[in-house]
Amino acid sequence: MNHLDLAAIRAQFPILSETVRGKRLAYLDNAATTQKPEAVLQALDRYYRHQNANVHRAVHMLAERATQAYEGARDDIARFLAVERESVIFTRGTTEGINLVARSYLQPRLQPGDEVLLTGMEHHSNIVPWQLAGAKTVAAPVNDDGSLDLDGLLARLNDRTRMVALTHVSNTLGTVLPVGEVIAAAHARNIPVLVDGAQSLAHADVDLKGWDVDFFVTSAHKAYGPTGFGVLYGKTALLDAMPPWHGGGDMIETVTFEGSTWNTLPYKFEAGTPDIAGAIGFGAALRWLSDVGLEAMHAHEADLNQYGHAQLAEVPGLRILGAAPGKSAIFSMVMDGTHPHDLGALLNEAGVAVRTGHHCTMPLMKRFNVPATARASLAVYSGRDDIDQLVDALKTARRLLVA
């Protein structure tokens, strides 16, 4: 669809009819998790009512239904990402995907002093796993406007760099990073790249094959799907060469007390009973995204981003971290003389849901010399009325908190 019918979109999200303190809910915490449309809720309900069984191996009717729905979801996800289905590994989310690559791919290749090159705006989930694997983490600098210092990143590529790992869209600043340029530069030195797509899958253009990315991780719940489910994409040659990370059912080919052999991709990395409902729900979410139309969604959010920055600029004493060109619709706010937690509590009284804290980006908070921010983040069902409600609530909070 070329034009997004906001009222029709909102009607598909039952939770948006909730009220807070008698006020209309303005849900602006979408970078933390998105709400779920009826299409996803119905898919989950259908599985538990009519398909509930464990997948694979059984021959009874419910197991057959569950397996078809589960593996059909893998087809949906692979189609959405435009990749081969055997390269789609099911995980518990972005965090587990990064940990899997850190332990199964990188750790066996590390020598003392080897580095992973990151950026200064990474989520903790794209910092800590590399450190736990034994790598030295090095961060490229962030400019004052929240953009990536690309020259600074390229200057930090060296003979000890064993991996580049960077976010596609910053969960705190909304910055959209030039991942294609970074991948090309890293590949020129035979360095693999992992892209954290947790914030980008539903909000930015994702082109895994065009980028020639080695690994890509994302989470369902930030793209209108269920919590606790995600995907790791990896080039099949890399995944084939990696040892399993978890052991147990479904990831084996044969087992004896003398030794075991492993299943083929993608199952080699999927030990134990999977999150069947999560896979089915994510497949439904991606079909829903395709039906709505990514181009229309992106245009709608870009309009809201522009409108939001203009309206928030009218709030006295309010500062927004991050104004990089082409950024996503995320507003990380600091108000003079006010702690973000107090600000968030007063916004809640006005029916406005935002996230407060360091957003799992403590190094970035240090870079901008703030302890925390109040973050408003938008989605396809957001509208100008949500921004207006936010702005009114901010002005009221300022009158109450800043005498």
pLDDT at 299 over 80: yes
Helix boundaries (H) for 82-178: 94-100, 128-132, 150-155
For residue range 92-112, what is the model confidence (pLDDT) as tens digits? 999 999 999 999 999 999 999
Contact 198, 218 (CB under 8 A): yes
DSSP state at residue 319: E
SS3 readout for 9-52: HHCCCHHHHCEECCEECEECECCCCCCCCHHHHHHHHHHHHHHC
Task: Choose the CATH number for 6-30+293-401 among 3.40.50.20, 3.90.1150.10, 3.40.50.261, 1.10.10.10.
Answer: 3.90.1150.10
**Cβ partners under 8 Å of residue 163, min gap 6:** 106, 116, 117, 130, 135, 191, 192, 193, 194
Provide mean pLDDT across the span 41-55.
97
Query: What DSSP string runs through 209-274?
Result: HHHT-SEEEEEGGGGTS-TT-EEEEE-HHHHHHSPPSS-STTSEEEEETTEEEEPPTTGGG--SS-
Bridge partners of 330? 377
d(CA 227, CA 232): 15
Angle at 306 between CA 362 and CA 177, to 5 degrees: 45
The position carrying tokens 């240090």 is 366
pTM of the complete model: 0.97
Q: Dihedral, CA atoms, 378, 381, 385, 386, nearest 10 degrees? A: -40
Q: Is the pLDDT of residue 5 over 90?
A: yes
Residues noted as catalytic:
360
Q: Is 403's pLDDT higher than 90?
A: no
Half-sphere exposure of 313 (CA within 13 A, CB side): 7
The amino acid occupying position 106 is L
Which residues on adjacent β-strands are paired with residue 318?
Answer: 335
262 pLDDT more than 80: yes
- Contact, 73 vs 282, CB < 8 A? yes
User: What fold is seen in the domain 41-290?
Assistant: Aspartate Aminotransferase; domain 2 (3.40.640)
> Above 70 in pLDDT, residue 2?
no
Domain ranges of the chain: 6-30+293-401, 41-290
For range 35-48, the mean pLDDT:
98
Q: What is the mean pLDDT of residues 226-250?
A: 97
With 60 as the cut, is the pLDDT of residue 272 above it? yes
Res 57: pLDDT: 85
| Tokens, residue 284 | 């439904």
Provide the mean pLDDT of the chain: 97
The SS3 of residue 333 is strand
| C-alpha to C-alpha distance for 19 and 268, rounded to whole angstroms | 46
pLDDT digits (tens, 9 = 90+) for 340-354: 999 999 999 999 999
What is the mean pLDDT of the segment spanning 222-240? Answer: 98
CA distance 346 to 237: 52
The residue with tokens 């055997």 is: 86
Q: What is the pLDDT of residues 160-219, one digit of tens each?
A: 999 999 999 999 999 999 999 999 999 999 999 999 999 999 999 999 999 999 999 999
Q: What is the pLDDT of residue 154?
A: 98
268 versus 2: the higher-pLDDT residue is 268
Amino acid 1: pLDDT: 39
Which residue from 217, 218, 170 is spatially nearest to 361, judged by alpha carbons? 170
**Residue 9: CB partners within 8 Å, gap ≥ 6?**
292, 380, 381
pLDDT attached to residue 402: 80
